[in-house]
Chain A
Amino acid sequence: MLLPPFQHHRPSELAAAHELMARFGDEAAAYAGGTEILLAMKARVLRYAHLIDLKYIISLDGIRQDGGVIVIGALTSHFRLATDPLIKRLVPAYAALSDGIANIRVRVAGTLGGNLCFAEPHADPPALLAALGASVTLRSAETTRTVPVAAFIEGEFTTVRRDDELLTEIRIPIPGAGERFCYRSFGHLERPAVGIAAGCTAHDGSFRYRAWAGAIAGRPIRLDTLEAALNGVPPAELMDVLPKASVEAAATLPAQDDLHGSADYKQHLAAVFMRRAVAEAAGVPIEERADA
């Protein structure tokens, strides 16, 4: 399918991108990997007279460590995140998530910043980034602010990013020695029907858990009843509590029937992945029955 005509702009500085955004307003969109926006423009779901290509702003690319935080430039591709030695060493669960996104071509072209800003609910990154306590940096010409990923996405295709702001980086606190994370998702299409992110923190012999559900609603949902049921339970006793708590937590999720599956199918998937993701984060090997 052909794209409608548009003008293409290629700023090499963030200030120039801000100036173009101010000049063209609603007529313009920021453009990077194109894996979402070009599909929407081909389908005539979105129309823009101007695309502001951010890929030549080199300060928006790359991965670095800043003290206890990994700073990921908004232009960093999923492929780079899946294969980067720093990410694989410090946040292996996030590298594994990136390696499972869509297919190799989408991972090569698609950027993490674009993925978050587009806010397609059936996406893998938000749930695990929320569980990790990650945040995004939003910069306008005059202001800079930091917003937790969990608060950045408001709902389907909607974020708190203002029209004059660009997402410049994603900041992930490096998990401590006693912290482990895991993400599990499944979908029969390229995108996940359900994704569950879990974390387990061991501290002085006590155990705390974090769990988020992605793709099931317009934004990641914190599974606080699951966390409450699990907190304090040592890994050796986890399987006494986790299966029942997972089913109960999944039953409360606002799943809806759609192309990705029926609501009860998604709640079933959510319970299975809560069990698997939490168990793996806690280092507990579990044997799954084929019908479980």
Chain B
Amino acid sequence: MPESDLIELSFRLNGKVVSVAIAANELLIDVLRNRLDLKGTKRSCDVEVCGACTVLADGLPVSSCTTLALDVEGKSVLTIEGVASGGELSRVQQAFVDHGALQCGFCTPGMVLATTALFELNPAPSEADIRHFLRGNICRCTGYIKILEAVRSLA
């Protein structure tokens, strides 16, 4: 692809403004993983069903596997690498650790980000609220019980 077809994309990534030259057809997940070397965002189903690639755009969950990178122009994007601060796990991450809410860990970045968004939108979610919000994040190891225990402990 000729350089002239590249688009200069600027957005806030984990609190810092970044600019990167991308092609129109680049997906957000590939820009994060390959151009910006943030490998915490995982590709799995590739069709917006599993939630492994979840990142937050302006605080709301999106599937980075099916989001054009150019659509986050001017937005604030949070990936799993930006969740901890100053070497301290976030309260959501700490709850997942404390409750053993992960096994292989492949779904965990998406789970943590979806849970982070849930508590931003609803600081005191009910059991039904939690299950409804996390319905689109699939875990093939834990059977969900420990994930729900971790999330419930924060409500």
Q: Which residues of A contact B (CB under 8 A)?
A: 1-8, 34-35, 38-39, 42, 51, 53, 55, 79, 99, 102-106, 108-109, 190
Contact = CB atoms under 8 A, between A and B. Distances in A.
Contacts of A8: 7, 24, 68, 70
A1 B23 CA distance: 15
Nearest to A42: B46
B25 A6 contact: yes
A100 to B, nearest CB: 9
B66 A38 contact: yes
Contacts of B24: 5-8, 51
A105 B61 contact: yes
B25 A34 contact: no
Contacts of A190: 48-49, 136
A104 B46 contact: no
Contacts of B54: 105
Contacts, number: 75
A105 B63 contact: yes
A105 B47 CA distance: 11
Contacts of B114: 104
B39 interface: no
Contacts of B135: 103-104
Contacts of B109: none
Given A5-B23, A108-B61, A109-B62, A102 B136 contact: yes
B144 to A, nearest CB: 15
Contacts of B46: 1, 42
A102 B135 CA distance: 9
Nearest to A79: B60
Contacts of A99: 132
Contacts of A53: 71
Interface string B27-68: 100100000000000000011110100100100111100111
Interface string B63-86: 100111011000000000000000
Contacts of B133: 104
Interface in B68-118: 68, 70-71, 114, 117
Q: Which of A34, A38, A99, A103 has the most CB of B within 10 A?
A: A103
B66 A34 contact: yes
Going nearest first, the 8 A-B pairs with the smallest beta carbon separation are A103-B136, A8-B24, A3-B25, A108-B60, A105-B63, A105-B61, A38-B66, A5-B25
B145 interface: no
Given A4-B25, A103-B135, A104-B114, A39 B71 contact: no
Given A105-B61, A109-B67, 12 more contacts: A2-B25, A8-B68, A34-B67, A35-B48, A35-B66, A79-B60, A102-B48, A103-B49, A103-B137, A104-B117, A104-B135, A105-B136
B71 A55 contact: yes
A1 B66 CA distance: 9
A130 B57 CA distance: 33
A105 B55 CA distance: 9
A141 B70 CA distance: 27
Nearest to A189: B49
Given A104-B114, A105-B63, A109-B67, A39 B47 contact: yes
